[in-house]
Amino acid sequence: MCGIYACLGDTSATDKVLAGLKRIEYRGYDSWGIAALNSKIKIEKHIGKIGLVKKLKLNSGEIAIGHTRWATHGGVTVKNAHPHLASNGKFTLVQNGVLENYQELKNKLEKDGYQFQTETDTEVIVALLEKSIGEEQINLKNFSEVIKKMTGRNTILVLTKNGEVWAYRQGSPLIVGQSKNDSFFFSSDLASISHDSQSYHVLDNQEIIHFADQKINSYDSKNLTKKKISFQKMNQEALEIDKGNYPHFMLKEIHEQKESLQKVLAKSEKIFPQLAKKIESSRNIYIVGAGSASYAAASIAFELRKHQQNIYHLPAYDYADFDNLFGPKDLAIILSQSGETADTIETVEQMKNKGVFIVSVVNMPSSTLMNIANLAYPLNVGAEVGVASTKALTGHILFGMALAHYLEKKDFSFKREVLQFSQQLNKWLTNQKIMTKIKKTANFLSKKNDLYILGRGQLLPCALEFALKIKEVSYLHAEGFSAGELKHGVIALIEKDTPVICLFNKENRAEMISSAHEVKARGAKVIGIAEKNEEVFDIFIKLPQAKKFTNLSSIIVAQLLTYEIALLKKLDPDKPRNLAKSVTVK
């Protein structure tokens, strides 16, 4: 979490950094700050979101660095906001990540007399660097001495009083871009930097970049040798991050699903035959992800298990319990929107060490999880900016459905079915009657404290994802369960007027009807999400008539409902509290 943006060698550097920070604000929105260099380093910091800020108090400088914070160590205060200035004023520094050994280092520095001004781990890096440079300026040697002491996933950017910039990537992503007129930019993601740069280089882990006299040089921090930087051309289209005419990114991204699902299969002809062979010859296949991506993983495991049995869903944060099971005959399919989720990266690194073949299905091009893979499948749904995953989640599920189809039939006829579903979805999303029903249901739910979602079979991961979407965007307490769990305890939660959402498809219909009756008999208000109405429903939300895709359309109902509840509660659906889009800390 947290985002870094910097502009080096442009007369409007501070404004460019302000605009850049707005584009990466989804990475953390507790506080933000910018440092600019004129004759001295000047810093402006604020708590809260940067989104509405029009003008900075800071004068423009030709070099500026900025940071948007998701607080890890130390409360949300102006003091704790980055950039942090060295006590001798020689440099200022921002960090994305966590200095894991900060307490131990802080204790030593305090013993040496350093007086800390903030509660952050980042100030410990500032203090280490101050100590390391002494009377000198920052150079490769004293900078690398500090780096050697840092543990964890932490990427830093330092602006010095004499107009130099030092960048170091450890774990958390950092990209350097170059503009037409040879200014340089740094950012934590590719999409945000594409506005300012026509070419880019993703820093390798443990790479140092030094900017001085309008030039950059790269070094390997382990042996301090110079590295060649090769810039790649930017693909602007894939990185488009414009809200268009929509009031929120979330709504735009929900509507984009009528096109994005088809885009997921763009590379299927090229990659599925090779992937299918690998799946069929592997000992165990693990499908891995965190949060929504983990529910997508559960859904994919369900689909693939129809074809072969040795398929396991593994939430990324639980891998340690299974670590001793992995071996070179195994395959892992890794799901991630950002490609930078710390839990997932750690799992993949461990699996790779055990020789597991890694297939990454990732949305963000050039991300860590994309680069680490033995076989990379671009999810290709376009930049997802709303903090809650929408089109990436359905894209992942669709990827699994298409792969399961290919494993069974060894053809690509599934693409036609996806095209038909996309057309139905398009009509459904513009059906005013259905949209009004969703708004009315949102209004009803917004007044409740608790709500339960029941699914079964293919729709169980969807019920879990449904509940997550409601919780994180509209802050309502929602829990998803298998309808099979009901009689074994869950039914005790049902009282008069408790809302229970039931997800129906053709396969689970008979059992879901029984479950719906059982909760209704205890006073529940049954909200049926299905292709056709059932007598047991108190409220009915009609899905598109696209049998195979009930899982996806049920999730789209969840997205729309939670979006509407958030608006009714005057919440920002794009930036739910306490969250960030890219979870780069553990």
Selected from 50, 288, 290, 463, the binder of ligand F6R by CB under 6 A is: 290
Residue whose CB is less far from ligand F6R, 346 or 417: 346
Integer CA distances (angstroms), 553 to 58, 77, 151, 391, 533, in order: 48, 42, 44, 12, 16
Residue whose CB is less far from ligand F6R, 369 or 445: 369
DSSP 8-state assignment for residue 366: T
Q: How far apart are CA 279 and CA 310, in angstroms?
A: 9
DSSP 368-388: HHHHT-SEEEE--S----SSS
CB of 350 to ligand F6R, least distance (A): 16
Q: Does 292 bind ligand F6R (CB under 6 A)?
A: yes
> Please, are residues 50 and 93 in contact by the beta-carbon 8 Å criterion?
no
Selected from 95, 178, 257, 344, the binder of ligand F6R by CB under 6 A is: 344
Q: Which stretch binds ligand F6R (CB under 6 A): 338-346, 453-461, 500-508, 516-524?
A: 338-346
Q: Does 183 bind ligand F6R (CB under 6 A)?
A: no
CB of 478 to ligand F6R, least distance (A): 13
Task: Give 499's Cβ-side CA count (13 Å radius).
Answer: 22
- Active-site residue (options: 2, 7, 462, 502): 2
Selected from 118, 144, 337, 515, the binder of ligand F6R by CB under 6 A is: 337
C-alpha 56 chain-centroid distance:
29
3-state DSSP assignment of residue 344: helix
Interior CA angle at 138 toward 137 and 140, to 5°? 135
Q: How far apart are CA 552 and CA 254, in angstroms?
A: 11
Q: Does 360 bind ligand F6R (CB under 6 A)?
A: no
Residues 6+ apart with CB under 8 A from 197: 177, 178, 179, 185, 234
Residue whose CB is less far from ligand F6R, 296 or 401: 296
Q: Which stretch binds ligand F6R (CB under 6 A): 110-118, 198-206, 285-293, 440-448?
A: 285-293
3-state DSSP assignment of residue 468: helix
Estimate the share of the chain in helix, then strand, then coil, as percent rounded to the nearest 5: 40, 20, 40
Residues 6+ apart with CB under 8 A from 93: 82, 83, 84, 86, 122, 125, 126, 129, 156, 157, 158, 159
Q: Does 72 bind ligand F6R (CB under 6 A)?
A: no
Residue 2: active-site member:
yes
What is the 3-class SS of 33-78, one letter each residue? EEEEECCCEEEEEEECCCCCCCCCCCCCCCEEEEEEECCCCCCCCC
Q: Which stretch binds ligand F6R (CB under 6 A): 253-261, 331-339, 406-414, 562-570?
A: 331-339
Q: Which stretch binds ligand F6R (CB under 6 A): 2-10, 333-341, 451-459, 548-556?
A: 333-341
- Active-site residue (options: 22, 90, 252, 581): 581
357, β-bridge pairs: 331
Integer CA distances (angstroms), 409 to 71, 106, 273, 395, 400, in order: 49, 60, 11, 21, 14
Q: How far apart are CA 27 and CA 424, in angstroms?
A: 34
Q: Does 341 bind ligand F6R (CB under 6 A)?
A: yes
Selected from 9, 28, 33, 291, the binder of ligand F6R by CB under 6 A is: 291
Residue whose CB is less far from ligand F6R, 269 or 349: 349
Question: Mask of contacts with ligand F6R, 430-469, x by CB under 6 A?
Answer: --------------------------------------x-
Q: Does 188 bind ligand F6R (CB under 6 A)?
A: no
Q: How far apart are CA 410 and CA 13, in angstroms?
A: 53
Q: Does 71 bind ligand F6R (CB under 6 A)?
A: no
Q: Does 474 bind ligand F6R (CB under 6 A)?
A: no
| Alpha-carbon torsion angle 488, 490, 493, 499, nearest 10 | -130
Nearest C-alpha neighbor of 194 from the set 242, 156, 257: 242
CB of 38 to ligand F6R, least distance (A): 38
Integer CA distances (angstroms), 575 to 25, 28, 298, 337, 555, in order: 9, 9, 26, 17, 20
Residue whose CB is less far from ligand F6R, 118 or 336: 336
Residue whose CB is less far from ligand F6R, 14 or 338: 338
Q: Does 382 bind ligand F6R (CB under 6 A)?
A: no
Please report where in the chains the tokens 């809302």 appear, as a residue.
499
Query: Phi and psi of 472, rounded to 5°?
Result: -75, -30
Residues 6+ apart with CB under 8 A from 535: none
CB of 234 to ligand F6R, least distance (A): 21
DSSP 412-461: -THHHHHHHHHHHHHHHHT-HHHHHHHHHHHHHHHT-SEEEEEE-GGGHH
Task: Give 108's Cβ-side CA count (13 Å radius).
Answer: 10
Q: Does 170 bind ligand F6R (CB under 6 A)?
A: no
Residue 233: active-site member:
no
Q: Which stretch binds ligand F6R (CB under 6 A): 33-41, 54-62, 330-338, 446-454?
A: 330-338
Residue whose CB is less far from ligand F6R, 95 or 341: 341
CB of 389 to ligand F6R, least distance (A): 3
Q: Does 20 bind ligand F6R (CB under 6 A)?
A: no
CB of 290 to ligand F6R, least distance (A): 4
Residue whose CB is less far from ligand F6R, 290 or 486: 290
Q: Does 338 bind ligand F6R (CB under 6 A)?
A: yes
Question: Mask of contacts with ligand F6R, 383-402, x by CB under 6 A?
Answer: -----xx-------------
Residue whose CB is less far from ligand F6R, 239 or 491: 239
Q: Does 583 bind ligand F6R (CB under 6 A)?
A: yes
Selected from 71, 293, 314, 356, the binder of ligand F6R by CB under 6 A is: 293
CB of 581 to ligand F6R, least distance (A): 7
Residues that bind ligand F6R (CB under 6 A): 290-293, 336-338, 341, 344, 388-389, 468, 472, 583
Q: Which residues are catalytic?
A: 2, 581
